[in-house]
Structure 1
Amino acid sequence: MVAHSSAARAAAPAEEPQGIELFLPAGYDIFWSAVVMAIIAAVFYKLVLPRMNAVLDERASLIEGGIAKAEEAQKQADEALAQQQQLLAEARADAAQVREEARAEGTAIIKDLKVKASEEAERITETARRQIEADRQAASVSLRTEVGALATGLASKIVGESLEDSARQSRVVDRFLDELEASQAVASNKEA
């Protein structure tokens, strides 16, 4: 019966796989799959992989070049910024110096104008003093002449004697005015 069961098994159609055998392929499938996989791997290794590596290397070099360019651009931008800040600081220093010079120049101009104004005021004051002195002398001469004529006329009437003589008239007028000035001087000394 043992022979019969082996023969029956061999004659019987292939049994359905069960258990873990359901997940495992047959041996010939594994062999032919490995052969096809080896052929694909060889083609991939010989043809596709070098091209892919070349493309990746090219991209890497482009990226590295881009990074180097970006670093160079950043370095140039930093240098330009530093130069701009230095120029700005110099411009500010120049502006401060110009302001200080303008202030100093303004102060000098103001001092100069004050000196000129003072000199002009002194000149005007001196001119006014001279004019006043000239006017006072002219008024004094005019007053002497008028007062002399009035005094002479009055004295002539009082004394009854004619004082038409100009020398005599001049002496009388001068004496009268001197006495008048002396009396004013005494009065001003008493007030002081």
Structure 2
Amino acid sequence: MNSPLTATNADVLAAEEETTANLLLPHTYDIVWSLVIVVIVGLVFYRYVLPKFQAVLDERTAKIEGGIAQAEKAQEEAAEALKEYHQQLAEARADAAKTREEARAEGTAIIAELRTKAQDEASRIVETAHRQIEAERQTAAVSLRTEVGALATELASKIVGESLQDSARQSRVVDRFLDELEAAGDEPRTAQTASAGSSAGKEG
């Protein structure tokens, strides 16, 4: 009596499990159509969408590479410009140093030339002054000699008591008188020179 009931219960349980399994798994035609749709979508994506993505990616890659290349080129140009600037700066410094040395040498030459001219001018002025002084001294000596000769002749005439109208005698008297005056003038000068020499010897 229990065996048929047990078999029936087992059949019912098996049928319920099969129904539950069929509910979880799709049917075969669903799987097939799903695969067909996936293949179609994949072909469309690969045919139309992927090339556009690839083109966009290639364009961005080209832009990035171009930007990097331009940046490298700009960096090389900047380095070249900096190198040229340093070279020009070094040349400018060398030119400035050369110009400064030339200006210094030229200034030294000009100073030496001016100093030589000044010395020559001073020598010329001194020589002119000496000549003028010598001419004035000679003029004064001649004038003084004439005046002193007249006075000496007059004085000698009064002392001797005779006239010294003879020119030769008058000349001799004047010369002797002037020689005596010069000798009298040289004695104080000699004494002054000796005194100055002794003073210098004491100071030394």
TM-score, scaled to structure 2: 0.76
Quick check: 1:3 aligned with 2:8?
A: yes
Tell me which of 26, 29, 43 is aligned to 1:28: 26
Q: 1:189 to 1:9 in 2, by over 3 A?
A: same
Q: 1:27 to 1:9 in 2, by over 3 A?
A: closer
Q: Which moved more, 1:154-163 or 1:93-102?
A: 154-163
The share of aligned pairs that are identical, in percent, is 62
Q: 1:47 to 1:27 in 2, by over 3 A?
A: farther
Cα distance in 2 for partners of 1:131, 1:104 equals: 40
SS in 1 for 2:165: coil
Q: In the alignment, which residue of structure 2 is the partner of 1:94?
A: 95
User: Equivalences for 1:100-139 in 2 at 5 Å?
Assistant: 100-139=101-140
Cα distance in 2 for partners of 1:26, 1:42 equals: 29
Cα distance in 2 for partners of 1:48, 1:117 equals: 100
Q: CA deviation at 1:108?
A: 0.8
Q: In the alignment, which residue of structure 1 is the partner of 2:142?
A: 141
Q: 1:174 to 1:26 in 2, by over 3 A?
A: farther
Q: In the alignment, which residue of structure 1 is the partner of 2:198?
A: none
Q: CA deviation at 1:10?
A: 6.6
TM-score, scaled to structure 1: 0.81
Q: CA deviation at 1:7?
A: 5.1
Amino acid of the residue matched to residue 28 of structure 1? P
Cα distance in 1 for partners of 2:128, 2:182 equals: 27
Structure 1 gap segments, 5+ residues each: 16-24
Cα RMSD over matched residues?
2.7
Give the number of aligned pairs. 182
Amino acid of the residue matched to residue 140 of structure 1? A
Q: In the alignment, which residue of structure 2 is the partner of 1:68?
A: 69
Amino acid of the residue matched to residue 177 of structure 2? F
Cα distance in 2 for partners of 1:144, 1:79 equals: 94
Structure 2 gap segments, 5+ residues each: 195-204
Amino acid of the residue matched to residue 88 of structure 1? L
Q: CA deviation at 1:65?
A: 1.8
SS in 2 for 1:28: coil
Amino acid of the residue matched to residue 157 of structure 2? S
Q: In the alignment, which residue of structure 1 is the partner of 2:79?
A: 78
Amino acid of the residue matched to residue 170 of structure 1? S
Cα distance in 1 for partners of 2:55, 2:34 equals: 30
Q: In the alignment, which residue of structure 1 is the partner of 2:161?
A: 160
Cα distance in 2 for partners of 1:122, 1:8 equals: 150
Q: CA deviation at 1:35?
A: 5.2
Q: In the alignment, which residue of structure 1 is the partner of 2:174?
A: 173
Q: In the alignment, which residue of structure 2 is the partner of 1:40?
A: 41
Q: CA deviation at 1:171?
A: 2.1
Q: CA deviation at 1:181?
A: 0.9
Q: 1:122 to 1:182 in 2, by over 3 A?
A: same
More helix, by proportion = 2
